[in-house]
C-alpha cells in the first residue's frame, strides 16, 4: 500500500463562465477515512467530486489520486479505482443483476454471487429480486444499487453525492451507519457530500465546510 493520501486537493479553484465557484480548496482524504463535504446549495460540492474523477478541470491547483495527478491517469482506470456515485444515480437498461454485472464485464472481472449478495446486504437492499427492471426502482433504491455496483469493483475511493437525499429518516440512519463502516470494512477512502452539516458531523470523521462565494 502506498503512503500517499488516497486523494489530495491542493489550492484548487473552479469557475464557470468567468464566475468563481470556489477557490483555495485544499484537503486530503486518507485510507480508512470517511470525509464529509458540506456547504450551501451551489457552493460547488458536486463539482469537487467531478473534478476528483477528472470529469471537470479546475482553473487552478493540483488534484492527485494515489500521488499522481488525476489528469495523468488513464480515465477508465481512474474511474474504476475512484468511483463517483452521483446524486441522481442512473441505471443501465435491464435488470438489477444486469446493472451489477455490467461494470464487472467491462473491466473483465469475475461475477461472484456471494459477493453480490454481500454488497447488497451492505447497502441494505438484500433480499431483493435481481430480475426486477432497474429503471423501475425508487430514487433511493437506485442510488443504493449504484453504491453496490461501485463496491463490486473494489475501488480505493468512493465519492458519494448526497447519498441519503432520496431516503426516509429510518433508511437514512441505516445507510449512514453502513457508510460509516464502509471505509474501514473495505480499507478505502470515502467522501460524502451533504448539504446537512449535522448529518456530516454525525457519521464522518472529519468535515470540510465550503462557504460559497
Ligand atoms: N457544467 C457547468 N457549467 C456551468 N456552470 C456549472 C456547471 N456545473 C456546475 N455549474 C455551476 O457551479 C455552481 C456549483 O454547482 P454544484 O452542482 O457543484 O453545486 P452543489 O454544491 O453540488 O449544489 P447542490 O447542493 O444544490 O447539489 C452552480 O452555480 C452551478 O450552476
Ligand atoms: Mg450537488
Write down the pTM of the prediction. Answer: 0.93
Beta bridge partners of 13: 60
d(C-alpha 156, C-alpha 126), whole Å: 24
Identify residues whose C-beta is under 5 A from ligand 2, the ion.
Answer: 46
Pocket test for ligand 1, best of 17, 20, 37, 45 (most atoms within 8 A of CB): 45
Positions in the chain short of pLDDT 70: 1-2, 213
Taking the CA of residue 17 as reference, the ligand 1 atom at the shortest distance is 4
C-alpha to C-alpha distance for 115 and 79, rounded to whole angstroms: 21
Closest among 128, 198, 157 to 27, alpha carbons compared:
157
Closest CA to 63 of 48, 73, 52: 52
Within 10 angstroms of residue 179's Cβ, the number of other Cβ atoms is 21
Ligand 1 geometric centre to CA of 128 (Å)? 34
| Range list of H helices, 138-168 | 139-152
Q: What is the pLDDT of residue 182?
A: 83
Provide the pairing of β-strand 68-69 with 60-65. Answer: antiparallel
pLDDT at 112: 94
Grid cell in block for residue 46: 458536486
Each domain of the chain, given as residue ranges in start order, spans 7-209
- Is residue 63 within 8 Å of residue 51, measured between CB atoms? yes
Ligand 1 pocket, 213 CB below 6 A?
A: no
Structural class in CATH, domain 7-209: alpha beta
Q: Report pLDDT for 213.
A: 61
- Each residue of 61-106: pLDDT tens digit? 999 999 999 999 999 999 999 999 998 888 999 999 999 999 999 9
- Residue 127: asked if its preceding bond is cis (omega within 30°), the reply is yes
Distance from the alpha carbon of residue 46 to the mean position of ligand 1, in angstroms: 7
CA of 40, nearest ligand number = 1
Name the grid cell of 18.
468567468
- What pLDDT score does 1 carry? 52
- Mutation pick for ligand 1 pocket among 15, 16, 85 (CB with most ligand atoms within 8 Å): 16
Amino acid at each position: 500500500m502506498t503512503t500517499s493520501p488516497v486523494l489530495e486537493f491542493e489550492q484548487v479553484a473552479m469557475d464557470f463562465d468567468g464566475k468563481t465557484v470556489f477557490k483555495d480548496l485544499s484537503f486530503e482524504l486518507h485510507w480508512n477515512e470517511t470525509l464529509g463535504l458540506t456547504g450551501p446549495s451551489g457552493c460547488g460540492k458536486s463539482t469537487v467530486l467531478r473534478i476528483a474523477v477528472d470529469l471537470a478541470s479546475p482553473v487552478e491547483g493540483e488534484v492527485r489520486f494515489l500521488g499522481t495527478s488525476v489528469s495523468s491517469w488513464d480515465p477508465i482506470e481512474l474511474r474504476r479505482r475512484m468511483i463517483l456515485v452521483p446524486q441522481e444515480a442512473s441505471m443501465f437498461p435491464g435488470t438489477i443483476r444486469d446493472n451489477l454485472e455490467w461494470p464487472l464485464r467491462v473491466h473483465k472481472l469475475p461475477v461472484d454471487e456471494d459477493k453480490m449478495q454481500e454488497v447488497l446486504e451492505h447497502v441494505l437492499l438484500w433480499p431483493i429480486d435481481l430480475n426486477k427492471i432497474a429503471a423501475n426502482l425508487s430514487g433511493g433504491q437506485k442510488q443504493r444499487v449504484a453504491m453496490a455496483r461501485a463496491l463490486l469493483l473494489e475501488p480505493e475511493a468512493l465519492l458519494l453525492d448526497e447519498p441519503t437525499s432520496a431516503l426516509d429518516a429510518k433508511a437514512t440512519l441505516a445507510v449512514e451507519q453502513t457508510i460509516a463502516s464502509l471505509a474501514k470494512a473495505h480499507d478505502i477512502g470515502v467522501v460524502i457530500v451533504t448539504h446537512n452539516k449535522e448529518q456530516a458531523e454525525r457519521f464522518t470523521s472529519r468535515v470540510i465546510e465550503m462557504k460559497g462565494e
